[in-house]
Structure 1
Amino acid sequence: MVSSYRPYFDPEYENLSVRINPPRVSVDNSCCKDCTVVKVDSVNKPGVLLEVVQILSDLDLTITKAYISSDGGWFMDVFHVTDQQGNKVTEAQTIDYIEKALLPKSRTTDPLKPWAGKKVGVHSVGDYTAIELIGRDRPGLLSEIFAALSDLHFNVAAAEVWTHNRRIACVLYVNDDATSNAVHDPAQLSAMEDQLNNILRVYEDNEKAFCASFSVSPTHVDRRLHQMLFADKDYEGSCPETQVDYTPSIKPKITIDRCEDKGYSMVTVKCKDRPKLMFDIVCTLTDMHYVVFHATISSDGPCASQEYYIRHKDGCILDTEGEKEKVIKCLEAAIHRRVSEGLSLELCANDRVGLLSEVTRVLRESGLSVTRAGVSTIGEKAKNVFYIRDASGSPVDAAIIEELRKEIGQTMMLSVKKAPTGLKAPEANGWAKTSFFFGSLLERIWNENQMA
């Protein structure tokens, strides 16, 4: 028998750098007069930049400037952030949360997971079944999906819906209306899957072009939507009637150059600024297996300028034109997915089975299409936001809005808002921390539990 020998490595060696230089997070309100400065120093690990940006985005903080450096195995970030009203972050609970959540140990132990009541959020499915849908978008599709779930006596407690290039991606959280628990019965799950796939199958020639599936993955909802649309190749081709009409001065411009002295590819993004822009770009680069070594982020009025120095995770830079073209297309798609035109409807009502089916039916019968939606449930209240446009692409007629007020407004609070094209649509209209719900809902529930 031949014995094999391997060199011995002390398992504590990997933790040596942490013991010598422990991770640090600081939130400073004194060094800048118009923003809060968040500094993060820790050992560099794959995906750590995305984790940090994700946490700040989920708190609905606007990143006005950022400086990223992660060479030499150490991760050093500086973020200049404000709240949605452009003020410093001064609330003690929020500052405490930032300091705890951004520490590596906190990110791995997930301090936000346990809470009472309805467990719908970005980190835990809780008492809900998560459904993922991808397929071709068409007028009335969302209404059909919600109607099918209502007929099966499933309650939709939370949802995220994105549309881009005639494709739709949804993440839905549902439970059994009779038990208020997640759905475990194989017969119920099979019936749900069959009905949803039948709805998505309409107008699809390729069986692989649509899918309704169940997920228990703890993946961040916004990141999952990016992953679903990226896998669906929504970045290929374009859909002129759904693209935002940018002026030449703020039309997204993405270039990729070679940084010869350091051996990086430099990705430069100049576009209209908006919330979560940095998250969407870092998320896309990460899911395409690129590593960000350095970055500089800045906002000048309505415009954002971002530079990323990257390599592929195998250490290679972008040498071929084909690689560069794909990265540019994917980043453009990531920027466009969250941009919504036209009007937004904000609705608040007592939660019940069939509520979303009723609302989306009225929208469909009014000749309106939903381009993006966010659904949340807090206690017994349902809070929903729909971005809508005329099915023909024309501006929504004022008479239709008045009819919506008469029909929908009788049973729920309805607020109709104008969404500025591509620029801080929720914030510009005074919405307090919607963030399309998941991050803010998670934060609010966590804070309420701490106070209790």
Structure 2
Amino acid sequence: MEYCWSSSLNVDQEFAKLVNRMHPPRVTVDNVTYRNVTLIKVDSVNKRGSLLEVVQVLTDMNIQIKRAYISSDGEWFMDVFHVTDQNGNRLFEDNVADRIQQSLGPRDSCSFRSLRGSVGVQSVTDHTTIELTGHDRPGLLSEVFAVLSNLKCNVVSAEIWTHNSRVASIVYITDNETGLPIEEPDRLAKMKQLLFFILKGDRDRRGAQTAVARGCTHTQRRLHQLMYADRDYDTEECGLYENSKSVKPLVTVENCREKGYTVVNLRCPDRPKLLFDTVCTLTDMQYVVYHATIDAEGVEASQEFYIRHMDGYPISSEPERERVIHCLEAAVKRQIPEGVRLELCSEDRVGLLSDVTRIFRENGLSITRAEVKTRGQKAVNTFYVTGSFGDEVKVKTIEAVRNAIGESALTLKEESVPTTIKSQPTTRFSLRSLFRKDSYTI
């Protein structure tokens, strides 16, 4: 049986390569048609995940999607993106088309990841990857980084998200002495056990689990998967009521009788990676996007998706409709950090994160989001912090933390985050105009 499965997989991969050679993806980058934006057109054989692959490439290159028209009904996938760079100018990258074409080629086995377990450790080429999910609480990250420091692990990079009392994190580590990935089974087992007890605590009703993850990973793609698998969208399951100060997206879900689609509309303040977040979630929920229009040319973004299940049927029940709404709301809010932004730039050293997060905890600060990077010998880290109970941080607390860490190393960054959505929708092109307007509520 195992041989047959392996043979079938090889045949599928070879067939995908054959189709790709016969009908290779075609990507054009047009800087002539419009003065202020670059036009990217993608034509390719349609396969599951094509839209996410393209959006992921654009997001990773920090390309801003201002408008998009998407169609994948049938055997062909056609996208048109109006994009700019981070400064709102046309693109002058030479490799955009090549990277998109490469992403649409045959996938290898590392494109897929298991969602089993809430603590995963995996050895890859130049580091060991740790995945964490569980109940968030003040001081949790301080304990995690203290364990890693005690086990003589060096944190190369990390990203941490929190939402609805849940936390998800991916941490990349190496051995402190050798700088190589950690591969000793006993050491990995001890690490997993200690992290398990820290995550489990005494308040997590769901409990923590351990598992070894395999394959490659895209950090933010994987964090969406971890959060979704951990049901961070379910406020009742998390044991709390939604009390976030950030804006709540407006999401509607209805069925279009004429074509047998479910129509999903989302409106919220625009921000980078918004389309990536929503497409990730629809993909994780096993929906296929057949058509879509995206408008993010102002401060507010509008996204309209025509979706079906993988079996070709639209949403068929009210509970499922509500679940889609809650999941998309969570996808948008996961990437909206709460609290004060602190940036740390200093000489990197083993135990640095353990010391910094301990100082945060001792001063009553709770980390709601963090991004850890090393550039050469420098540690470049970003933290969003609130009070221990989600309250605002006092100025004197920030000053005390800066004095303890080093005023030149830790700086406070001011950010402006939109907190409202216009009550009246603006006039936009909608795919609904191409279909009959009568629809029915589930």
TM-score by length of 1: 0.81
CA–CA separation in structure 1 for the residues paired with 2:143 and 2:14:
56
CA–CA separation in structure 1 for the residues paired with 2:21 and 2:151:
55
Relative distance call for 1:416 and 1:330 in structure 2 (3 A) is: same
Match of residue 217 from structure 1: 215
CA-to-aligned-CA distance 1:151-171 (integer Å, 9 cap, x gap): 111011111100011010111
Identity %, equivalent residues: 50
Structure 1 residue 47 corresponds to structure 2 residue 49? yes
Match of residue 386 from structure 1: 383
Match of residue 165 from structure 1: 164
CA-to-aligned-CA distance 1:203-222 (integer Å, 9 cap, x gap): 2354x532354434213211
Structure 1 residue 188 corresponds to structure 2 residue 187? yes
Structure 1 residue 268 corresponds to structure 2 residue 265? yes
Gaps of 5+ in 1: 1-8, 114-123, 424-452
Maintained 8 Å contact 1:343/1:387: yes
Deviation for aligned residue 1:379: 2.1
Please list, as runs of the form range in 1=range in 2, the aligned pairs for 1:75-224 lying within 5 A after superposition. Answer: 75-90=77-92, 95-104=93-102, 107-108=105-106, 125-204=124-203, 206=205, 208-224=206-222
CA–CA separation in structure 2 for the residues paired with 1:154 and 1:17:
45
CA–CA separation in structure 1 for the residues paired with 2:351 and 2:15:
57
Match of residue 235 from structure 1: 233
Find the residue that maps to 2:296 and give its secondary structure.
strand
Deviation for aligned residue 1:131: 0.6
Match of residue 3 from structure 1: none
Find the residue that maps to 2:263 and give its secondary structure.
strand
Gaps of 5+ in 2: 1-10, 112-122, 420-442
Letter in 1 for 2:225: Q
CA-to-aligned-CA distance 1:191-236 (integer Å, 9 cap, x gap): 1111111111212354x53235443421321121111111111111
Relative distance call for 1:358 and 1:80 in structure 2 (3 A) is: same
Maintained 8 Å contact 2:70/2:78: yes
Match of residue 292 from structure 2: 295
Maintained 8 Å contact 1:209/1:232: no
Relative distance call for 1:315 and 1:106 in structure 2 (3 A) is: closer
CA–CA separation in structure 1 for the residues paired with 2:135 and 2:215:
24
Maintained 8 Å contact 1:134/1:212: no
CA-to-aligned-CA distance 1:32-61 (integer Å, 9 cap, x gap): 222221111111111010000011111111
Q: Compare relative contact order (CA 8 Å, sep 6+) and give the higher one, 1 or 2.
A: 1
CA–CA separation in structure 2 for the residues paired with 1:198 and 1:15:
45
CA-to-aligned-CA distance 1:286-318 (integer Å, 9 cap, x gap): 111100011000025221110000110011100
Find the residue that maps to 2:235 and give its secondary structure.
coil
Match of residue 310 from structure 1: 307
Find the residue that maps to 1:71 and give its secondary structure.
coil
CA-to-aligned-CA distance 1:164-199 (integer Å, 9 cap, x gap): 110101111111101111111112111111111111
CA-to-aligned-CA distance 1:101-139 (integer Å, 9 cap, x gap): 1114775479xx9xxxxxxxxxx9422111111110000
Deviation for aligned residue 1:413: 2.5
Give me the CA root mean square deviation.
2.5
TM-score by length of 2: 0.83
Letter in 2 for 1:44: N
Relative distance call for 1:105 and 1:55 in structure 2 (3 A) is: closer
